[in-house]
């Protein structure tokens, strides 16, 4: 399919280019030491991802350990309530450990094993990436250092407990505001010292090349499965596909299955409390071009041009930028990026739970809220929503802050 001058039949061959660019976005803006480490990872990835041994091992892990393929569920009661549009969800909440993040963590850890590394390193904010990586490290018998700000350690006690039980070393970062940004800096610094024995595992389609590409490729299993399942269930493609966007990994994986199809794609960002800077984390909607954490993309900046403070009711979505490929697909017009706020999200959280017996992660509830709005606008057709994770982690928070609805 040709779209605005881009041939999507060969899209994955050309994007990113060999330097990690999706148009002007992406790249690797890092120190020479780290450049060398990234070059080593890129080379290993290109060799290994063509190896049938690696591919069949990853397939086996997905089937026997992660529980893939995850199903698609038809939301009969919710569809009936909204009108004539048929709603479906891809059940990444049923992936082992309860979200899509394990898809790329198992891939990254398997790559570490093939490269002969002994350790995986990462930072975590809310702890979701840390838990997924700790799970993968335990599976492969790798050491695992997770850098986390002291403020987040206090806030996210259950995830800290999970990481420790899984054998990970949770390294407390105490400087500055002691949250995600400081944890990223500390993890990068540690990696610069340890890259001979360790590999850095980024938690989304972010960071320097090759991570936006690798994480997308590992997540593309979601979209490839979903396309085949949807056609199998209905005999057709969905009219629209919806996914939430923080860094953008679950969306990138889902969209990868449909980029070359006549299907409308929607990425949903968190509008939080409103459009004022600091009240949301909708970088693609309100941000401008800039470089952070080693890549060029669209980002929210403060008055000094530094990454701005962001807010979302979903801690997995509050990042001041999004992956470079999303910035590219936005400019191209291939994917439409839009927002829903906290209130709409909490409503969708309860609606999906009550109507279908599925408690979504608050991140995923953003996509559900948008899918419901879209269904009302469309009037007919079908919408496939990526349900990136389950909501067990969010139940206490929702009840304390919003009560039962
Ligand atoms: C982390 C997380 C997200 C956001 O990450 P993306 O990289 O944007 O997909 C979304 N949903 C869940 C359940 C998460 O844990």
> Is residue 219 within 6 Å of ligand 1 at its C-beta?
no
Mean pLDDT of 310-321: 93
Tokens at 214, concatenated: 């690798």
pLDDT band at 184 (very low <50, low <70, confident <90, very high): confident
Q: What confidence score (pLDDT) does residue 54 get?
A: 96
Sorted by where each begins, the domain ranges of the chain are 2-62+101-211, 69-99+219-402
Residues facing residue 337 across a β-bridge: 267
SS3 category, 392? helix
Q: In the prediction, which pLDDT does 239 show?
A: 98
The predicted model gives 93-107 an average pLDDT of 97
Mean pLDDT to the nearest integer, 11-38: 96
The tens digit of pLDDT for each residue in 101-152 reads: 999 999 999 999 999 999 999 999 889 999 999 999 999 999 999 999 998 9
Which residues make beta-bridge pairs with 73? 89
Residues with catalytic function: 101, 123, 388
Q: What is the DSSP string of 241-286?
A: EEEE-SSSHHHHHHHHTTTTSS-EEEEEEEEET-SSTTS---HHHH
The number of beta carbons lying within 10 Å of the beta carbon of residue 118 is: 14
CB 396 within 8 A of CB 403: no
Question: Is 361 close to ligand 1, i.e. is its CB under 6 Å away?
Answer: yes
Interacting residues of 228 by C-beta distance below 8 A, sequence separation 6+? none
Q: Is 364 in the pocket of ligand 1 (CB under 6 A)?
A: yes
- Mean of pLDDT values over 241-248: 98
Range 69-99+219-402: architecture per CATH: 3-Layer(aba) Sandwich (3.40)
Looking at the predicted structure, is the pLDDT value of residue 204 above 90? Answer: yes
Q: How confident is the model at residue 234 (pLDDT cuts 50, 70, 90)?
A: very high
Q: What is the pLDDT of residues 153-182, one digit of tens each?
A: 998 899 999 999 999 999 999 998 888 888
Exposed, middle or buried by CB within 10 Å (0-12, 13-18, 19+), for 244?
buried
pLDDT band with cut points at 50, 70 and 90 for residue 405 = confident
Same fold across 2-62+101-211 and 69-99+219-402:
yes
CB contact at 8 A, 103 and 222: yes
Q: Please tell me the distance from the alpha carbon of residue 206 to that of residue 293, in angstroms, as a whole number.
A: 8
- Adjacent-strand bridge partners of 298: 289
Per-residue pLDDT, 236: 98
Q: Whose CA is nearest to atom 14 of ligand 1?
A: 316
**What band does 39 get if pLDDT is binned at 50, 70 and 90?**
very high
CATH number belonging to domain 2-62+101-211: 3.40.50.1100
Atom of ligand 1 nearest to the CA of 219: 9
């Amino acid at each position: 399919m040709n779209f605005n001058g881009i041939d999507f039949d060969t899209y994955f061959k050309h994007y990113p280019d060999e330097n990690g660019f999706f148009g002007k976005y992406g790249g690797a803006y890092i120190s020479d030491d780290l450049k060398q480490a990234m070059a080593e990872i890129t080379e290993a990835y290109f060799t290994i991802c063509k190896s049938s041994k690696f591919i069949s091992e990853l397939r086996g892990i997905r089937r026997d350990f992660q529980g893939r393929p995850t199903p698609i569920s038809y939301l009969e009661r919710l569809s009936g309530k909204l009108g004539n549009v048929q709603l479906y969800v891809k059940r990444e909440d049923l992936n082992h450990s309860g979200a899509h993040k394990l898809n790329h963590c198992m891939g990254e850890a398997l790559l570490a094993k093939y490269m002969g590394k002994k350790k995986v390193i990462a930072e975590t904010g809310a702890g979701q990436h840390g838990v997924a990586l700790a799970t993968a490290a335990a599976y492969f018998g790798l050491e695992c250092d997770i850098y986390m700000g002291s403020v987040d350690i206090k806030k996210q006690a259950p995830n800290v407990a999970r990481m420790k039980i899984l054998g990970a070393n949770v390294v407390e970062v105490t400087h500055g505001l002691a949250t995600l940004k400081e944890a990223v800096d500390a993890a990068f610094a540690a990696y610069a010292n340890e890259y001979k024995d360790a590999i850095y595992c980024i938690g989304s389609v972010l960071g320097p090349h090759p991570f936006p590409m690798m994480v997308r490729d590992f997540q593309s299993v979601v979209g490839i499965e979903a396309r085949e399942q949807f056609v199998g269930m209905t005999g057709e493609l969905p009219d629209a596909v919806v996914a939430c966007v923080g860094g953008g990994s679950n969306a990138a994986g889902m969209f990868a299955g449909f980029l070359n199809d006549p299907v409308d794609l929607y990425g949903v960002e968190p509008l939080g409390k409103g459009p004022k800077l600091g009240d949301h984390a909708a970088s693609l909607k309100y941000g401008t071009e800039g470089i952070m954490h080693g890549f060029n993309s669209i980002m929210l900046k403060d008055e000094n041009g530094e990454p701005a403070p962001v807010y979302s009711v979903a801690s997995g979505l509050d990042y001041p930028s999004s992956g470079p490929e999303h910035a590219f697909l936005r400019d191209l017009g291939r994917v439409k990026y839009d927002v829903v706020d906290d209130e709409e999200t909490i409503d969708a959280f309860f609606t999906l739970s009550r109507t279908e017996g599925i408690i979504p992660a608050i991140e995923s509830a953003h996509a559900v809220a948008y899918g419901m709005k879209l269904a009302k606008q469309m009037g007919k057709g079908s919408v496939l929503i990526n349900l990136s994770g389950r909501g067990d982690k969010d139940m206490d928070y929702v009840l304390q802050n919003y009560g039962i609805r």
